[in-house]
Amino acid sequence: MIEAFTKVSEASKLLLEKGLCPSTGVETLRMVGHALGVDRAYILENRVQGTYGRFITDMRHAWAEAPTPSPLANPVMRAFSFREFAPGWVDMLEAGMVVACPTRDAPPMMKDLLERQGTQSILLCPINPSRQQWWGMVAFEDCHRPRAWKPEEVTLLKSLARAVAASVRHGQMRSSLDQVRNSLRQAVSSRTPVSGL
């Protein structure tokens, strides 16, 4: 378990130094997932789609221990209504709670999805860049047994989710600063010099 805590620390440092992008997302999941002995790990992002504000969840980053297939190979995981698949889980995650259960105990639609992926047990933790924002979640999957997740494994996933949240928050701040900078540049460049001064 000490190795797993070390890997979460390394992953946190990587995310803060380089931000959350495809390479750091996969590397972070690989380091922690391998240390915990899980078969798959992934980061899901929530978004609102269309004019009616449909709640959609997208898989952004994923890692799988060979020969386990990557969850990215499943097109359903690219953009799906998580609320339709597991409404109770969404309520828990929105409230900042962790979801941990064997596949057999999952809500019916989610159970079917997980069984088709060969998942025996899942652990989900919300990613909250701020108290008002449920950005997404980090997930670990065991494809070999209906694992009873240990408290220290839950603690590790929460630490990883906090590191991802901090990286997302920094990315959002950088984006806001870039927008302000660009607006100021446009305002300055659009000013015409006053003649005779």
Q: What pTM was estimated for this model as a whole? A: 0.83
DSSP 192: P
Under 8 Å between Cβ of 29 and 61? yes
What is the pLDDT, as a whole number, of residue 76? 83
What is the pLDDT, as a whole number, of residue 75? 83
What is the pLDDT, as a whole number, of residue 187? 73
Q: According to DSSP H, which parts of 52-126 are helical?
A: 82-85, 87-94, 108-116
Under 8 Å between Cβ of 1 and 152? yes
What is the pLDDT, as a whole number, of residue 50? 66
- pLDDT (tens, 9 = 90+) of the chain, 197 residues, equals 788 888 988 998 999 899 899 999 999 999 999 999 999 999 999 988 765 667 899 999 999 999 998 888 888 888 888 999 999 999 999 999 999 999 999 999 999 999 999 999 999 999 999 888 899 999 999 999 999 999 999 999 999 999 999 998 877 777 666 677 776 777 777 765 655 55
Q: Which residue segments constitute the domains of the chain, with CATH numbers given?
A: 1-171 (3.30.450.40)
Under 8 Å between Cβ of 57 and 78? no
CB atoms within 10 A of CB 10: 15
